[in-house]
Structure 1
Amino acid sequence: MSVTIKAVSTEVPKNTRPTKDIIQLMDSWLEGQDDRFKRKVKKIFENAAVDRRYSIMKPEAVVTKTSFQEKNDIYKTEVIKLGTACLTKGLNKAGWQPADIDYLITVSCTGIMIPSLDAFLINDLQMRQDVVRLPVTEMGCVAGISGMIYAKNFLKANPGKRAAVVAVEAPTATFQLDDYSMANVVSAAIFGDGAACVLMSSHENDTGPEVIAESMYHFYNAQHYMGFDLVNSGLKMVLDKEVPEHIAAHFGSIIHPFLKENDCSIEDVAHLIFHPGGKKIVQTVESLFSEMGKDINDTKEVLRQFGNMSSATVLFVLERFLEREIPQNDIGLMLSFGPGFTAQRLLLKW
């Protein structure tokens, strides 16, 4: 019994600016800082390999003093809109109805809401009252693949079922106005807001690339690498500057045993679907994959066009592959990293 990916859809907020305009907006935030620091911040933005990003708030509002409650209220309102639009688009692509979904997984880490997003989707789209819900929080950038792993296991155990994974993130709502740390600056330079939906199926009539394997790899004693601290002003970014080095050190252990367990090698992998965490992580992984004769050009393009949208971003990369004519039996490897610290992987076969 196979589990397939039927469709992928994406959505971005209406507020958008090119990076050059956002750099100009940072002048008000940088007022009072010394000139050397100002130049350093602007250089980080200029070199982030992100041309444009989207936001649930107008860019001016991001650098305006507001409370955690005010930003989180915007987050709740806007992620419901994005999630509804994204799921609706995915269902239309697949030719499914909302009532066709048996398992609904929603993913977000950039705000707090109870009831979670899935409850609103069920009501807004009049999904079945017995749909199984799973909200996934606190997993950051890795959670898009995490959601797909959970969906795959549910579907493998339940033939003839369908699942939706909906990832909606608004990192701009976490920008800390009084925090001039490099973690806050770098996150502001690379992150943007967006949503993605993956529809998966164990129904015999649904076609698409098959999810043939999945696995998680957890780093020991690495909880401090990445995440958020909950402070009075909201979610404060934690980002260890050594993350790319840690990834490089573990890279062989993350990739090769997983492929070997599934009777593959890196030479068999035709398509790399990698989460664009940021320029340095992309450069690190690109150099490691290039030694194997592989590229991650689609990852770089998504980062350039949208920035890092946390859990949703790797699904933007996946959508690019599903829109192509890919030869039958081609193998694809999905990979992302996130808080924990963890790497999570999916193996696909067309």
Structure 2
Amino acid sequence: MPILCKPAVNVPEYLITLEQTLEFARKAHAGKSQLPLTLRLIRNTGVRERHIVQPIEQTLRHPGFEERNRVYEAESKRRCPEVVEQALANAGVAARDIDAIIYVSCTGFLMPSLTAWLINTMGMRSNTRQVPIAQLGCAAGGAAINRAHDFCTAYPGSNVLIVSCELCSLCYQPEDDGVGSLLSDGLFGDAVAAAVVRGSGGTGMALERNASYLIPNTEQWISYAVRATGFHFQLDRRVPGTMEPLAPVLRELATDHGWDVRSLDFYIVHAGGPRILNDLSKFLDVDIKMFRHSWATLTEYGNIASAVVLDALRRLFEEGAMAPGATGLVAGFGPGITAEMAVGSWTVDVPRYPESRLLGAAAPYLAGDRAQARRKEPA
């Protein structure tokens, strides 16, 4: 069964606080009629700090779409390899063990995808499959997990690398003064995340069932307007209410798997804002504390788009409270309105050799020669 292993996450070195965000908004949009409402909404996002890929002075300027995309390419190539290496180490696999890469990002555009550069740069095999996903926004983290699950099911024993690179600050548009755009200026942060789904072995979430759902006729509710100045984020005022129709879909996924969605052991969901988490608590009848990892991501990093679910999962790993067999849910939400959901149970990798035999036949294994260790194993 495919195992989603511990993610690696890195945020840029430039920090912006809630107080700084409010001050920048006051200066940049002074006198605008919607500014008081926007300031109130930003205060209510729950975001206390965010990390951005450039100093704030550069972020607030717009050098043009071409230059921003150049920065996206340079920064993604600078920041992804270290995170990928850590994710591989977390999963106990090497670069040449990877059979497919799923790369998700909605904040820059490259062709060929960064997948090709990663294969060439990091020593992966030339027959590694490439699956770039560019247009699912925040839902792409959940979609990447589900497509990795599908791939490992279709090709048993395969390993899939997921990479999320979201440099949301490169989409800042200083001339946009709509409430949705101004709110996004105080909500989104930058991050790079990666995780491996192993076809066998590993510690983490054993992926057992996944599903996708599109709320009918909502494709305009979250969108980009693509203009000469780049990507302009558009948000409909009805978006915060979308958990009410999505909660029954999450409940059905768990029920179809023979589980009660109210009594799972962990919930890793996209934290687009406080209302998403509050409404899920209400409509799923789940204690709000069960979403603590998503809350922490939102508070400390902001909405980091497709990377949210990977960071929340990292926090679950680091909490160290999951016992084998613990049941859980992962869900990402984004443009469409799209939901990508999965359920699974916690599993812990069991060493091949019992401790009592480590000094005997398994000594070569300890030295790193797995093949030799297997050949010398007693019948």
TM range (shorter): over 0.9
C-alpha separation in 2, matches of 1:298 and 1:84: 25
CA distance in 1, matches of 2:286, 2:75: 41
1:61 to partner: Cα distance: 1.4
Match of 1:284 in 2: 279
- 1:83 and 1:164 mapped to 2: Cα distance? 12
Asked whether 1:151 is paired with 2:152, we answer: no
Residues 64/267 of structure 1: CA separation in 2 closer, same or farther (3 Å cut): closer
1:1-350 pair list within 5 angstroms: 2-31=1-30, 33-34=31-32, 37-203=34-200, 205-252=201-248, 254-289=249-284, 291-293=285-287, 295-323=290-318, 324-350=320-346
Distance 2:38 2:127 in 1: 50
Q: Distance in 1 between matches of 2:218 and 2:23?
A: 36
Distance in 2 (alpha carbons) for counterparts of 1:6 and 1:301: 20
| In structure 1, C-alpha distance between the alignment counterparts of 2:280 and 2:156, rounded to whole Å | 36
Q: Which residue of 1 aligns with 2:368?
A: none
Q: Structure 1, residues 297-320: CA drift from partner, whole Å, max 9, x if none?
A: 221111000000110111100111
How far did residue 157 of structure 1 move? 1.7
Given the superposition, is the C-alpha separation of residues 23 and 157 from structure 1 closer, same or farther in structure 2, using an over 3 Å criterion?
same
Aligned residue for 1:209, secondary structure, equals: strand
CA contact (8 A) 2:280 2:286 kept: no
Q: How far did residue 271 of structure 1 move?
A: 0.8
Structure 1 unmatched ranges of 5 or more: none
Structure 1: how far apart are the matches of 2:287 and 2:184? 30
Once structures 1 and 2 are overlaid, which stretch shifts more, 4-13 or 187-196?
Answer: 4-13
Structure 1 pair 29–276 and aligned structure 2 pair: CA distance change class (3 A): same
Amino acid paired to 1:45: I
Call closer, same or farther: CA 1:292–1:304 in 2, change over 3 Å: closer
Is the contact between residue 268 and residue 331 of structure 2 (CA under 8 Å) also seen in structure 1?
A: yes
Q: What is the SS of the residue equivalent to 1:50? A: coil
Q: Secondary structure at the match of 2:212?
A: strand
8 Å CA contact 1:278–1:303 kept in 2: the answer is yes
Q: CA deviation at 1:27?
A: 4.0
Compute the RMSD of aligned alpha carbons.
1.6
Q: Kindly state the Cα deviation for residue 26 of structure 1 after the two structures are TM-superposed.
A: 3.0
SS at match of 2:186: helix
Is this contact kept in 2: 1:56–1:74, CA < 8 A? no
**How far apart in 1 are the matches of 2:246 and 2:20?**
38
- Residues 200-220 of structure 1, C-alpha deviations (whole Å, 9 max, x = no match): 1113x4343210111001111
TM-score, structure 1 as length reference: 0.93
Partners of 2:207 and 2:93 lie apart in 1 by 20
| CA apart distance, 1:105 | 0.7
How far apart, CA to CA, are the structure 2 residues paired with 1:182 and 1:281?
Answer: 18
May I ask how many residue pairs the two structures share in their alignment? 344
Paired with 1:27 and 1:302, the residues of 2 have a C-alpha distance of: 26
Whichever of the two has the greater Rg, that structure is: 2
Output the CA distance in 2 between the equivalents of 1:310 and 1:227. Answer: 13
Unpaired stretches in structure 2, ≥5 consecutive residues: 347-379
- Which amino acid letter does the alignment assign opposite residue 333 of structure 2? F
Amino acid at match of 2:98: I
Q: Which whole-Å CA distance do the structure 2 matches of 1:218 and 1:49 have between them?
A: 27
- Residues 12 and 82, structure 1, Cα contact 8 Å, conserved in 2: no
- AA aligned to 2:15 is T
Q: Which amino acid aligns with 1:247?
A: M
User: AA paired with 1:14?
Assistant: E
Identity %: 24
